[in-house]
Amino acid sequence: MKHFEDMWEDKDRITFFLEGWEPEDSKPKALVLLIHGLGEYITRYAHVGRALSDAGYALIGFDLRGHGRSGGPRGHSSSLDAYMQDIRQFSQRTESKYPGVPRFIYGHSLGGLLALVYAIQHGTQFKGVVATGPALRSSLQEQRAKVALVRLLGAILPSVTVHSGLDAATISRDTAVVEAYKNDALIHYNTSLGFGKAALSAIDFCFAHAGEFPVPLLIMHGKADKIAYASGSEEFAELVRRSGKDVTLKLWDSLYHEVHNEPEKEEVFRYMIAWLDGHL
C-alpha cells in the first residue's frame, strides 16, 4: 500500500490537509473520495484505506475546515455552500491526479450527510455513493435549546461555539477505539452556530431532493447507533427508492455509530467492497 499526504490553500487562505492510500504496484480500479465526521479527521480512516487498497481501490480524503490538520476555527463553517466549495476543490484535485479513473464518494456521519448533498448537486461524475451513519436524524437534533439557538442566531452570530454533546462511549463497542478517541489531541467537541445552521440546511436539502438522487447509493447504519439514528437512513432510502433509483440500505444489528470501527469491521469492509465492485 502507498500512503501520501498533501496540502492546498483556498481563496480565503484556509489550508487543507489531504491524505490517501492506494495499491502499491498497480493503477487503482477506482478512486473513493472520503468525507469524515464531525470533530474527527481523515487519518482515523487509515485502516479503511488499507482494506480498500488491498481490494484494488484508492481511498483519499481531506480534513474538513475547522478539523484535524486543516485550518479554520474548530468546528466552524459559515454555510453549507462553504462545505460544498471545499469538497468541489478536493474533488477537482483528485481528478487531476487520477484522470480517467472511475470515482465514488464515501462519507461518514456529518461526512455522510455532506456526501449526500454533494451527490445530489454534482453526483453524475460518480459511479456511486457510500454513506455510513449519515447524520440525517441525530441526537443533536434532540437538544432543542441548541437547535432553537442555531435557527435564531446561526446567521447573526455564526462563529459562537457550543459543545457538540457527543458521548465518545457511543462511537464503538470496541473500548480501545473509544479510549484512543478520548485521548486524541486532534479530536474536538466544538460546533459553531454557523456549523449548526449548515447542518440543518443539509438535512432539509437531502429530504427535499431525495427523489433526485442521480447515482447508485449504499447506506450502511448500525441499528444501535445513538448519535445518528438509523431511522434517518431508512426514511431517506425509502424516498430514493420510491423514485425508482438504485439504493441499498444495510442495517447492522447491534453496531454503534462508527461501523468501520466496530469489532465486525472486516465484515463491513467486505460488504462495502462487494458493493463497489458491483457498481464499477
4: helix, strand or coil: strand
pTM for this structure? 0.95
Per-residue confidence (pLDDT) for residue 138, from 0 to 100: 82
DSSP letters, 137-191, are SBGGGG-HHHHHHHHHHTTTSTT-EEE----GGGS-S-HHHHHHHHT-TT---EE
In this predicted structure, what is the pLDDT of residue 162? 75
Rounded CA-CA distance 155/216 in Å is 34
271 Cβ neighbours under 8 A, 6+ residues apart:
220, 250
Write out the chain's pLDDT in tens, 280 residues: 999 999 999 988 999 999 999 999 889 999 999 999 999 999 999 999 999 999 999 999 999 999 999 999 999 998 999 999 999 999 999 998 899 999 999 999 999 999 999 999 998 999 999 999 999 998 666 667 667 766 665 566 567 777 788 899 999 999 999 999 999 999 999 888 888 889 989 999 999 999 999 999 999 999 999 999 999 999 999 999 999 999 999 999 999 999 999 999 999 999 999 999 999 9
Question: Which residues, 6 or more positions from 142, have their beta carbon under 8 angstroms from its beta carbon?
Answer: none
178 with 169: CB under 8 angstroms?
yes
Q: Where are the domains of the chain?
A: 2-278
**Architecture of the domain defined by 2-278:** 3-Layer(aba) Sandwich (3.40)
- Provide the phi-psi class of 184: left if phi over 0, else alpha when psi is between -120 and 50, else beta: beta
- Rounded CA gap, 126 and 241, in Å? 19
Active-site residues: which are they?
109, 225, 257
| pLDDT value at residue 214 | 97
Residue showing cell 477505539: 177
